[in-house]
Structures are given as C-alpha cells and as structure tokens.
Structure 1
C-alpha cells in the first residue's frame, strides 16, 4: 500500500488517519493500523507511546490539512460572498463525511481533552476566518449591516457538518447540495434592478 520510501512513522500516521475517518477511535485497533501501514508488531510502540499518542498525531495532521484546505479557499481571490460560496461548494467526499466532524461523534475522542483539542481548534479557526470574511463583506456593503459575523460563520459550519450527516443518512449528496444552495440564497447580495 505504501512505498518503501515512506517512513514507518509516516505510514502509521496516515493509516491511523484513514481508519479514524472510516471507523472512529474505538473501531481503530492497533492491529488494523499495523496491517494497513504494512508495519511490524512493535513499530507503533517504537515510534509512539501507544494508540492515544498515534491517534493524536493523526488527528493533528488531519486538522492541519483541513485548515490548509480551507485557508486556500477563504484567503483566495473574490468578494466575501464568492469566497464563502467557493468554500461551501468546494470538492468534498460528501458521503464519506468530514474527517474532523465525524470525530466529534466519537465519545472516546470527545471525552479526551487532548484528542479533542485539535478538533476544537480547527472548528474555531474556521469559524473565526468565516466571521472575518462576513465582517469584511458588511464593510464593503455586500452583506446586510444587521448580519452578525460569528452567527453567520456558525451557520456556515453547521450547514457543512449537517449537510454531511443528511447526505450520509440519505446515501446521496443531494441533501448536502440543497443545504449549501439554501444558505447561499440567504447570504446572496441583493441585486439592484
């Protein structure tokens, strides 16, 4: 599955990321991690203190990747509305769900402050970035002055995360897309005749 050029610790982290996304924390056994990574039995304990330490490294990597992907869109060109639109419509594996959002439903992750921290930080970062974009849009006259940047940011994140849930429940990305279209229609700048 992995090239010989990829270090064992790197293979372990990447395998854990995939398994956490697919199975959650409890369903991600050390044996499954080692099998997916193509690593020997003692490898995990050579590079990490144990499953929680490896899971933390994997969650941090996923959180960093999610922030980088969001930043590429949110810090990109376009009006505030266009940047939010691109963020909402960007390519996603909707039926697989969000690798960070899915972990918020895992009781073992939520109960562990250390494992939950990168998730909280990432969701907070996205909301803060979105809130700043909304405030900039208000200053430019693109959004109504009555909009609250933090509330709109929370609505955007809730639409994305809720859209994943609805899409997975229905087995179709249509529910995700409908939520995105609905939110964008509420945010759309008024057009003058």
Structure 2
C-alpha cells in the first residue's frame, strides 16, 4: 500500500473510531507509519485528508450496497440482502457516525460526501422499490421514496440502539421489524 493509501485508510479508521476532533495528524501518521513530510506531500492538511477518507468510506458503502441491490432478485429480497449483509454493527456506520460529529457537519466540504451518500442510498432504495411496484411485487399504495427514507432511518437508528445496548441483536431486531413491515406490503414474500 502506498503512503497516500495508508494515510487515507488510517484516517478512515480513526474517523470511525474517534471522530474528526479526536483524529490528530500525529495519530494518523502513527497509524499509517508515515512521517509528517509524507502526509503533507500528499495532502494540504487534516481537512483534505479527512475529505479523502470520508469519500473513500462513502465509495465503499456504495459498493457494498450495490452488491445486494443490483441483483435480479425481487425488490424485497434485494433490500433484505442489503440490510442483513455482514457488517460490524457495534462500530456503527462509518458514514452515519459522521453526522454526530459537529466539526464534520459544520464543514461544508466534509459534510458534502455524507449528504451525497445518504441521498444516493435513499435514491437507490427508491429505485429498487419502484422496480418492485412496476413488477407488481408491492401494491400501488406503497410510496417508494418515503419507504426508502424509512429503511435508511431504521438502519441508522438500529446502529445507535446496538451500540447503546452493546448488542448486535438490537440491529438484527430492528432490521427484522422493518422487513416485517415491508413484507406485509409485498405480494411475493
């Protein structure tokens, strides 16, 4: 891994663990095994490096989601696969956790990839639900956009509940609940 990649990956991990304020340039350099000169050779400062790390986290989240959401299965099955995919629940969502970081949310450049990622996810889920409607998998009364928003909200809340109780079971229970509601509207499940 190049020193640039190591810096980005180290920053991703530290942002996920500690947030923006808790992620010092020194901590990044130590975790990356890179010197200050290397860091400032590749990035103008902590904000630019944090932006690259947030963008990478967003890209990885989109790739992981797309694996389940782009199959030929029913809309319900694709959403279920997305919600039940393997994840480190007790660490929380690497993008969702950033919404609780006042410094990230107050910095437009850092906030932008967070907003864009959630907008993308809502849009992608909306498209899957709309496909399900068009295939007759759901009744015409199902609103794809608000249902997609609800799925994202439940998923993010499930991370919070799991962390609060120190139990991945809370995440699983919330996912089971939202899938039960969706299945109640499904004509194929």
The alignment's TM-score, normalised by the length of structure 1, stands at 0.94
Matching residue within 21, 29, 50 for 1:34:
29
**TM-aligned CA deviation for residue 77 of structure 1:** 2.8
Aligned position for 2:86? 91
How many residue pairs align between the two structures? 187
Select the structure that is richer in helix.
Answer: 2
Structure 2 residue 48 is the aligned partner of structure 1 residue 53: yes
User: 3-state DSSP class of the match of 2:93?
Assistant: coil
Aligned position for 2:15? 20
Contact 2:69–2:82 (8 Å) recurs in 1: yes
Root-mean-square deviation (CA), in Å? Answer: 1.2
Aligned position for 1:175? 170
Question: Which structure 1 residue ranges, 4+ long, deviate > 6 Å from structure 2?
Answer: none
Structure 2: distance between partners of 1:96 and 1:176: 12
**TM-aligned CA deviation for residue 10 of structure 1:** 1.0
The alignment's TM-score, normalised by the length of structure 2, stands at 0.96
Matching residue within 146, 160, 178 for 1:151:
146
Structure 1: distance between partners of 2:106 and 2:75: 36
- Unpaired runs of 5+ residues, structure 2, are none
